[in-house]
Structures are given as C-alpha cells and as structure tokens.
Structure 1
Amino acid sequence: TMGSISRSLNSILRNAQSEGVVDKDVTPTMRDGRLVIPVAPALKRKIRGIVHDESASGKTVFIEPAEVVEANNRIRELESDERREIIRILTDFSNQLRPSIPDVLLSYEFLAEIDFIRAKALFAEQISGLKPALENKQLLDWTMAVHPLLQLSLAKHGKEVVPLDIELNEKQRILIISGPNAGGKSVCLKTVGLLQYMLQSGLLIPMHERSHAGIFSSIFIDIGDEQSIEDDLSTYSSHLTNMKIMMKSCNERSLIFIDEFGGCTEPQIGGAVAEAVLKRFNQKQTFGVITTHYQNLKHFAEDHEGVVNGAMLYDRHLMQALFQLQIGNPGSSFAVEIARKIGLPEDVIADASEIVGSEYINADKYLQDIVRDKRYWEGKRQTIRQREKYMEETIERYQTEIEDLQKSRKEILRKAKEEMEQLMREANARIENTIRSIKEAQAEKEKTRQARQELTDFRESMEALANKELEEKIAHKMEKLKEKQNRKKEKKAGKGKENGLSAQALAEQQARKEAERLAAIIPGCNVRIKGQTSVGEVMEVNGKNAVIAFGSIKTTVKLDRLERTNEQPKQADVSTKSIFISAQTQDSMYEKKLHFKQDIDVRGMRGDEALQAVTYFIDDAILVGMSRVRILHGTGTGILRMLIRQYLETVPGVRHFADEHIQFGGAGITVVDLN
C-alpha cells in the first residue's frame, strides 16, 4: 500500500512540477504519519487536497492530494487493526501467564540475585579482589591495599598504583596523615574509605590475603567543598556543620574520614577548633583517618594515646612524592622545597622563612631529616638481612663440605685397618709355621731362642711397617683430596682469567672496529640511522655529531647511531604515509568515536553558520571512520539544502549524497555516504 501511495504521489508531484506549481527539486515528505507535498502558500489552491501543516517560517504548506487521502486512510485503518491485534495477542499471553505469576516473580528475583553475585565476582576478578580475614570488632590491619578505580585508570596507561599498608586498632584508633601537597594524602584516605565501604557492602576488595578487617556500624565522610549559596554555607561553615553531626553521632563503633581538617579559615583559630574537635573524637574512642597540614594536630597526635601520626613519604633529592604511607612520624609539607623547585625567587623564600621563624623551619628540617634517616636505616636493615642470609647459606655449604671430608677420612681409616688386619693374619700364619718347624726339628735351646728372637723382630718390623703404611696411606689420600679441591679452584680461576682475557681482547677488537666505522663517516657519503631504512647524505661532521640530509630535511644525529651504506637516497614518495600515533591520541580518538552522533541538525541556522557546522561535522565523521551520516536542514526555501550540497560536492571524502527516504524525512534531510 505504501508503495502504491508513493507512486501516486510521485506522479502527482511530476505533473505539478511540469505545471510550475511545485519547485523542481521538491520531494514528498511525511507529516503526522501521512505522505504530503510541500507547496508555496500562493499556489496551494492549484492542488486539490487537505492542508495538514505549514513550515515554521510559513513559506511552505504541506498538502495531502485528494487522490491519496483514501489510501492514507486505509493505512491508518490497517495500523489500528495491527494495534488491536497486538493488544489481543498480549492479552491472551497474559491470561496464559497469570497462573504462573508467583513462579515467574520468584525466578525473576532469583535471576536478579544470581546476576548480582556474578557481577560482583566479575568485578572482583577485574580488580584482583579477595576477602580479608574478617573479625567481629573494630579493626583495620591492611597490607598492600589498592584503590580499585585508580588502579583501573592507571592500568590503561601502563602504570601501577603504589599499594597502601595501614593499621588502626584499639591503641592507635585515629591516624593523622601529613605530608607534601600532591603527595597522596587524599588518595590514601579515599582508599581506606572506599575499600571499607565496599567490604561492608559485600564486595571483595584488592589487598593482600593476610590482611585483617573489622566492621563499623557507621561511616562519616567529610571530603571536598560543600559550599551552598541557597543554604548560606561557606566552605568552612559546611565543614563545621559536618563536624557537629560527627561529634553528635559518632561512637566507638564509628569510622570517620576528614580531608584537610581545620582548613579554609584563619590558620590559628582553625587549628585550635580542629584540635578541640579531635579531642572529642578521641574521648568518644572513635576510629578515623584525617589529613592535615597543621603542626598543632601533629603535636596532639604525639602527646595523646589513641591518636597516631602518619607521613606520606617524599624524596628530597629527586623532589618527588613516593606515595607511601609511614605510620609513627608526622610528615613535612615541604613548602619551602616545593616553592624553590617551582622557581619562586630566592629572596621571596628567604623572606617567608624569616616571617615564620627559623625555629619552625628548623623543626620542619629536623622532621625531614628523621624521615630520611629512617628510610636510610630501613634500607641498611634490608641489606644486612640479605647479607646475613647469604652468610648462613655459605656456612651451611662449608659445613656440608667438612662433613664430606670427615666421611672420606673415616673411609680411608677403615680400609687401612682392613689391610693391617690382613698383614697380621699373614704374620700369625708365619709364626705358626715357625713353631711347627721348631717342634719337628727338636732343636737346642740356643736355636730355639734364636728362632724366637727372629720371630719377635719380624713381628715388631711388621707392626712398624703396618703403622707406617697406614699413616702414609692416610696422608696420601688426604693429599689427593686436597689436590682435587685445588685443581677445581685453579680450573675455576683459570676459566675466569681466560674469560677475562677473551672479554678484554673482544672489547679491544670491538673498540677498534667502532673507531674504523666512525672514521669512515665523512661528508658526501651515504648513511642510515641504525634500525631504520631511510638513507641520507652526510653534509658535515662536527666532533661526535653529523648533519645528515634526508631529502629536503636536515637533521643532526650522533655518529654512534649512524652506519655507512652503499645505497642511494630515495626520492621522497608523496604517497608514502608515516603515521606515529601516541597512546594519548588513540585514547582521545576512541572517546571521539564513542560519543560521535551520526546526525546533525542545522535547521534555523544562517547559511554561513550552518556551513561551518557541517564542515566540522563531515571532518569529524571522516576522522572517526563513519560510513554514513545525515544532515537535517529542513525543506523551507531550500537555500540551506543547496549550500550544503554545493559544499559536499567539493569534499574528497564524500562518495555520494542524496535525499533521505520519504518516510524518514525526504528532502529535509541529506544522507551522505563517506569513503
């Protein structure tokens, strides 16, 4: 039906155009769901039909020709039938579903709960969350805690969060964090607040598994500027309002977070009020994390049990924050150092130091020195621990070697003893033979005495020989073992020496080659930068640098980055594109593509204004790689449409443009296809 209406309307429009009633470039359009023809008000009597609407300017009247009225009415009837049929189907479906409503609701709630649990699990995986050891008391003993949102944000740029170690217990309930500006105080406070809130909301949190966490019945937060013109609140009065609520409601089961405690007013009275409020918090035995720059609050933490100082560490040599929390000492604000780094004149810094007094500046310096020394000794302690471990390993190795030597010695003694026993057995056999020969010969006493003397001499000589052999064998074996160990040592030393010699020779050879290579780089020769393919010509050599011409571009390059080549420099190829896109540019392009809208509305704008808006729009569309966009310019007098289309014809990135389909706006919208 729509097709036949469109055909009828087009034929009426062609006739009207041929009679001059309607402009040549006019197309049918849609008004209130009915297809109509735009006509000038003066000529509206020329076309029979119903006037449905007119443009905002009153220069166009939208007429529905009489020939298509019936067809459009039929479409309306069909749409009503369709709507009634949809209602009937939905009613039948509802009737079938009604008996199962309790089951459906139960399933719906179960599905929602399962989806919620799965979402928590997926988020925990994303942030590497876990459940710390939970205790039914007020406690905070966290190791390597990480702010999850900061972690996700930094991970995009390949950076890591510095993990936080923090402990709050019955003896140190309130932590006063001080330290330099932009040193991580607020991040530390927000990390604790967010993780505790996440934990009490049933989410897993990113920290080390040996961490312990407690439960707090109420959490109070005072962060940021709550100024309000309507409520007549300045920054300081809004802070005080929060303090009043906290003091009234907090107890030993509460956890409070205050950023920049006592700030935003005259320093002395601000510090005094802050100290008085802190005293009440301590009396109520509440837990909390508070950041401040006030010296009197640091002194209060030193002098009162239950309140403890903490410092955000700062590297004085590199002049940069380390983002590490250290509980036990207050931190310095490093105001003088930061002012000097930024480049404030030295006389201004000296004047400021004089105004505040040398005693305060010195105290600040002593504080910095204590923190620095603590870091130094902490480093030393780590080194000593490593060396002790190495010594223990060395002692253990030597003990093992000594035990092996002892075992070898015992083995040698055992073998020598066996050989001696063998000799003794042989000697006994000989004695037996002698006695038998004496008995057989029945010799005289003199002969017997002589034989016995010989026997005694033989036994003594045998024993002496056995002892001598035993000692010689032990000494020989021990000598062999020592020689073996010495050979091993010499071998190792020799190897090291050989390697050293060969390394030295190699280094000399490489140095010689490098010198020869650098000497070969002279004006007029062709070179390339190591790791690149572009060939350039050496224009001049100045010491360790050379001026190279790559086509029409001259650049200065260090000699050791160049290598000589026989290739000729190539002519610059215009078509070749060298594109280096930084990560930041890629991020911004991704954001641009994400938020790019495919339609632009320039209705009601002046010609030059609309043309500028369309120019930017088309440029952005080509930049983010859109294939199709729509420009809403309206029909009106057709001036905007003509101007925009004249511009589109000149854009190389535009492949094709035409009117939108009649149902979706017709001639009032130009659809642009981009390459």
Structure 2
Amino acid sequence: MIYPSDFEEKIGFKKVKELVAENCLSPMGIENVDKIRFLTNVNEITLNISATKEFQNILNFEDTFPSDHYYDNTLCLEKIRIEGSFPEIHEVFDLKRSLETAKSVLNFFRTKEGNRYPVLSSLCKAVKIYPYVSESIERIIDRNGNIKENASSRLKEIRTEINAKRILASRRLQAILKQAQAEGIVDKDAEIPVRNGRGVIPVNIHDKRRIRGLIHDQSASGKTVFIEPEEVVGINNDIVELEYEERREIVRILTAFADNIRPYIDDLLDLNRFLGEIDFIRAKALFGNRFKSTMPSITDSPGLSWRKAIHPLLALAFEKIPGREVVPLDIKLDSKDRILLISGPNAGGKSVCLKTVGLLQYMLQCGFTIPVAEGSESGIFSKILIDIGDEQSIENDLSTYSYHLINMKNFLKHGDERTLILIDEFGTGTEPGLGGSIAEAILGEFNRKGLYGVITTHYTNLKHFASVTEGIVNGAMAFDSQFMQPLFQLYIGKPGSSFAFEIARKIGLPEEILAKASEKAGVKNISYDKSLREIARDKRYWENKRQNIRQHEKRLEKMIEQYERELSEIGTMRKEILSKAREEAKTLLSESNKMIENTIRQIRESQAEKEKTKQLRRNIEEFRGKIEKPADLPEAENLTKTDKLISQVKKLKIKKEKNKDGHIKPGDA
C-alpha cells in the first residue's frame, strides 16, 4: 500500500519513470515502465533488482549487446491470428528484424561462460524461436524489406511482363519526344516528366492538338500541357492491369505466409514480450549506471542501513550547476531506533533527507538498483505513507492543518510494524503550543504501534520526547554557525538547532528586535537552543578530529605495509645469502680435503725433500689463510637492518592498536 494517490509525483518517482522511458528502444519497453508497481515480496524484489544489476554489468563490462530493431509486432501478430487475414510487407519486415534481434540476444546469453548472468539467462529459457518462421520470411522478403521476385513463379512472370511493357512505353515516348522536338512542338532540352504515374510529353498550349493523346496536367503558368500520347496509353493501361495483378499475387503470398505461421502466434507474442522486458531492464540499468547505483543486501524484515545514499534527481539537477555536488546521506532505521526525528535550520536539507529515503526505498521495491554505497542494507516495507507539502483544498474546505490531520488519521488507521511513514514539518499549520502537543501524542502512538519513519520538525517538545523515548532517535542537520550556511550533513543521535536568531542576525534584522524576541522566547528556550548549537559545534569539532585520525591511520597502514614488504624482501635476501654461504662452505671443505690429500701424496712422492716439503707447507698455510679470512658478505649488515625493520613495524602496529582502542567518537568529552 502507498498513500496518498499522488505518492509517485510527490516523492519524485514520476520523473524517474520519465527518465527510464527515455532510455527505452521500443513501445513494449515504455509499456513496461508504465506497468511498474510497488512490490512487497522479497523474492520478487530481489529477482527484479538482480536482473537490473546484471544488465548494469553488461553495459559496463561487455563490448556490445544487441540494441537494434526492438519492434512492437503485437498488432501484426494479432491480425495474422484471424483466419484469412494477411500482414503488410513492412510488418513482415519488422517481424523479420525482431526475430534476428531476439536470436542475437539469446545467443549472447547462451555463449557466456560460467553462467555469468543467471537471472537474465533464466528469462531466455522459456523463449522459443522457430527456424521455420524465419525461413518462411526469408523466402518472400529480401534484405531491404521488399517482396522477392521469386516469392512465387507467377509473381516473377508478372514482374517480367511489367518490365517489358515499361521498356516498350519508354522507347515509344522517347521516339515521340524526338519527333516533337524536331517539329518544334517541344523544347530541345525537354525531358519526359511523370504525371499520375505515367510518362507524358510537355507541349506548348498552342500545339496541344498536334499530339493526339490524354492531357494529364497543366503547368502553373498555363503555357504547357502534359500529354500522354495515344500510342502509349494502351501500353500504360496494360502496365496498370499487371500492377493490380501483382498486388493480388502479393496478397496471396502474404495470406499463405500468414496461414503458415498462424500456429506459432502465441510463441511469437511471447517473444515480443521478451524483447520488451529486455528493453525495460536495459533502460533501468542505464538509469542505474548514470548514478552508480548498486544492489544493497536485502532482507525480508523492515528497516534500512544505507551508506552514502544520494537523491538521483537532486544529483541530476546539480549536474547543471558547476561546483555543486550532492552530500551523501548515511542513515539507519532498525528495531532499536525505528523513527528518526530530524531537526535543524530551514533549507538545511531535512526535507531532502526525508525524500531521499522515500524515493530510494520505493525505487528498491519497484525493482531498481539504488545509489547507495556497497555494504548498505535494505529491508522491505508493506506500506509507505507520506505527508509532504502544503495541501490546502478550497473545494473540500480543508486548511493545511486539517489536511495534515487527515493524513495522520490515515497513518494511525493503516500503519503497522511493517509500515514506513515520512512526515515533513510534523505538527505545523496551527498554534505551535497546541500543534506541538498533538504532534507529540501522535508520535507516541506511531511508536507504540511499531511504525518506522523519518519525520522533520522544529518543535522543541518533540526533540525532547525523542531523546527520552525508546524507539525514537533524534537527528540533526549540520550548520556552520561561523559562516552561517548549512552543511547538508545528517548526524544521528542529537537534535539540531533551528539557528533562528543567527539567521535573522545574518539577514540584518535590527539588534533591538532580536533582543525583544529573545526576551519573549524565554531563558529556557534560548538556553536549550544554545545547548543544541554548542552540541552541533562540538560534534563537528570531534568529527574533524576523527577524520584526522582516520587519515593518520591510513598513513600508518601504508607505512606498515611498506615495512612489511621490505621485511619480506630482506628475509628472502637473507635466505639467499645463507644458502650461498653454505654452498661456498661446502666447496671450501671439498677443496680443503683435496688439498690435504694432494699434499700428503706429493710429500710421499718427493720422499720428504726439504725444499719441496717447505713449499708444500707454505701452500697449505696460504690455503688456510684463505679459508680463515672473513668473507665479505653483507649478512651482518642485512641482519641488523632486519632487526631495525621488525622493531619499527612492531612500534607502528602498537601505535595503531592504541588509536583503535582510544578511538574518538562524536560527542565524546
């Protein structure tokens, strides 16, 4: 259920449908846009959104997708269904190209490996394409959409006769024209024009009786008449009769074609609907890609948790304004905090937040992907009820406040624990004290019934009620009190100030008036509003601190990642050095053994000659010195560097953990 009847126009969905319809290639696609409806079954919603998301991926990552010749063949096929009927040639040509498009679409999905697009592929399973139908069309229609000359033997004979007659008529006319030019009846540079489908001779009005035949036309000046010579009248009459016969033969061919494909009409209509559905999903995907829309995690229970949500129509409007960008919205409604009460200055973005929630949730439940960040979650509501705008009714004798109260009455009547309500400027339109009291009582009943909602207000009593009531949470639109301008950021957890006096002061109201207003407002109200301003200021301060800490953490993470990468490289280098050292040690040991064995052998062979023995001993001492000399290896240096890196990484990790443990949150003292 959605309420009121003009819900789609108020929430902005009517404009969304117009934009999607502009993306459609066919009347069937546009018809599907018109048929969009609010869904409440989680499986149906998930299926629709999944199809749209898959098509977004096709548009983003595939080279091509068949996007030509999405013709609506409904009227043609329904005509063929009637016994004895026949389609026009252009209708058969449209059907031919539609079948080619459908075949290309089916081939696209059937040739994709790994079931890349499961939902869209499942749409193709029930689609039937009969080669017989395509072959029947190919036999009678050429690639330019004309009836083939050999569609039947009789048609070929007729067209051969027509061509022969036309050649004969042309030759006769040329001969008559040349003779008339020679006699001066016709200008030397005159050619044979066509009037009423027949070749004629342009003759001066005064010489018209010199050429016997039928007058078909006269020039605007009246000086020239166009005569069909009697020598070619008979030939042209024969051509006309043959053309009638040609048309009768074409009708016979088309009637036979209709008889042949009539058994397949229902399947061809299904194919037509399939192309319309593909066109519709493609149009939604184009819209989604325009705003980088995603598919949030969807659950059957009510609620939502969105990160960086944007209003697509606002984003579209800002595209035309240099330097303007939509400030993303982070919002959460769950079983603990079901109703969000947003307060803050006028033109600060309260209504935009409310409409963003309404439009995106409605889009989601109509099968659209929505512009929110990855990791967002969405529940399903059975009803969405809104009270937006000033709806005075002279005809029904309703004031603005009366209209709002009627809406509240309907909300209370129809609302339940699966209902989402959206109320802009709750309680306004009457005396603030009484209006605030009634609004508080209604808000309490909404909460008791378990409704979910987003409500905007300026009333202090509602802010206080939300702060002490379980199930309702305050939200504030940020405002830069230094530069006196809205920041369009929503902070959940604390109420916001209207900044009425600050805005009035900026506009230039006299200080004496502001002083009197302050007295009339009372110390209590002024103090409360001042406290809200201070909270907002402190919140921004700590939010900036948190942003700085996040940036610092990111730098730490990069440094740790760099050090760990270097550490890994050094570890690898160390292994290589040790491996190399071991190999060299083995080589030296082997050489030592060989040296000793060789020396012993030589001493024995020399029979212990003094000089020879001394020389051998010197050789051994030199070899020993070579072994005992410290190797010039960078091992020690690398090990020292490794120890230093390990120490730095440990310090950085400890520092990061401390930051996590002592993470500053908005509102911390």
Q: Which has the higher strand share?
A: 1
Q: Which has the higher helix share?
A: 2
User: Larger Rg: 1 or 2?
Assistant: 1
TM-score with structure 1 setting the length: 0.49
TM-score with structure 2 setting the length: 0.49
